[in-house]
Amino acid sequence: QAVVTQEPSLTVSPGGTVTLTCGSSTGAVTSGHFPYWFQQKPGQAPRTLIYDTSNQHSWTPARFSGSLLGGKAALTLSGAQPEDEAEYYCLLSYSGARVFGGGTKLTVL
């Protein structure tokens, strides 16, 4: 089974910009991995922010965007808000099976 890697933790200043990445042990992440990004706050179910690399749900704040960057999937937060402090997970598809990354704890400080 593939291993999906994320930064364990990142810190961003309020109003600042940060990029979270999602890599695959099998090689470069492509659109064919249909990358997803989820936000999870303590005690809550995950909430999908981005699907299929760069598509936003209707509830996704415009400050979140998804892309492919340097062989990885990326989630960029532009103009961080205190309420963005959370755990972020990526999910990649491997011929229909899915694998989550280990998560990135984002601190807004």
Partner 1 sequence: QVQLVQSGAEVKKPGASVKVSCKASGYTFTSYAIHWVRQAPGQRLEWMGWINAGNGNTKYSQKFQGRVTITRDTSASTAYMELSSLRFEDTAVYYCARERYMDVWGKGTTVTVSS
Give the shortest CB-5-to-partner 1 separation in angstroms. 12
Residues interacting with partner 1, by CB under 8 A? Answer: 1, 36, 38, 40, 45-48, 51-52, 55, 57, 89, 91, 96-103
- CA 65 to mean position of chain CA atoms: 9
Least distance (Å) between residue 92 CB and partner 1: 10
Least distance to partner 1 from the beta carbon of 15, Å?
29
Calculate the alpha carbon distances from 39 to 82, 90, 92, 104 in Å: 14, 9, 15, 10
Can you give the length of the chain in residues? 109
